[in-house]
Amino acid sequence: MTLDQGASRAQAQELDRAAERMGVPSAMLMAVAGFQTARLARRLLGESQQPDPTVAVLAGKGNNGGDGMVAARHLAAWGLRVRCLQMHSSGGAEPMADGLRRAAEATAVAVRRLAAGSPGLREAADWCLTDAALVVDGMLGTGAVGAPRGDLADLIGRVNRCSAVVLSIDLPSGLDCDSGQAPGDCVRADHTLMLGAAKRGCQELGARHWVGRLWLADIGIPRSCYLEAGLEPPEHPGPDPA
């Protein structure tokens, strides 16, 4: 399919706000986004033809992490073995993240939930990634600015050193949504599933090293919301190759 210039960081955020105003909250979008991610992950696993594959999901604190948790639940419900590392803030209640974790665990996803900076985070990352056939990267989303630091930078390095196929949600963690540049450590994805709208940075020439094959999926955003965000409504039954 032919893509437009793609959504900037500000436009992606406005698209979500417009959907909220139309009565489609982020939880609804997350449910569809996670399902679309799981669909593509299962398709990629089928192409790999690896027997009894394991999927590793790295879920960050934002909406991309939520998308990853939903995808993990669907993949486990379809009979796949799924391990998930769910990262959270060091303080404060996170009811949505807790709910996603409980739902995933009820569907036989093995979850380890740790805060950034926890002494066991690197061990948990190794547990999650070991022998995985496919890694779902949901660590950072379109709102991330600047180079990943600390544990996130370490996790990105671990992903890049593993032999699994890597599927990034919306954009590879560490890639700038606007420029397509990687100011620091960045996931080298084999596939990137852009959700709702193509992301501007993913289509930049310099991003090709990081994004792999681009895909675009519909997540149920009303067409009028695209116009409010200054975007052309895409035509996509998705996930489709971009």
Q: Is 115 in contact with 151 (CB distance < 8 Å)?
A: no
Q: Is residue 52 part of a domain?
A: yes
Nearest Cα neighbor of 80 from 112, 114, 113, 104 is 104
Chain center to CA of 117? 21
How many domains does the chain fold into? 1
Q: Is residue 214 part of a domain?
A: yes
Q: Quick one: pLDDT at residue 97?
A: 87
What's the CATH code of the domain at 107? 3.40.50.10260
pLDDT tens-digit readout, 14-69 = 999 999 999 999 999 999 999 999 999 999 998 877 778 999 999 998 899 999 99
Rounded-to-integer distance, Cα 226 and Cα 17, Å? 11
Range of the domain at 71: 9-241
**Per-10-residue mean pLDDT for the chain, 242 residues long?**
74 95 95 97 87 93 94 96 89 77 96 85 93 97 92 94 96 97 96 96 95 95 94 71 50
Number of H helices, E strands in the chain: 8, 8
Q: Is residue 3 part of a domain?
A: no
Q: Quick one: pLDDT at residue 2?
A: 44
pTM of the full structure? 0.93
Q: Is residue 1 part of a domain?
A: no
Q: Quick one: pLDDT at residue 199?
A: 96
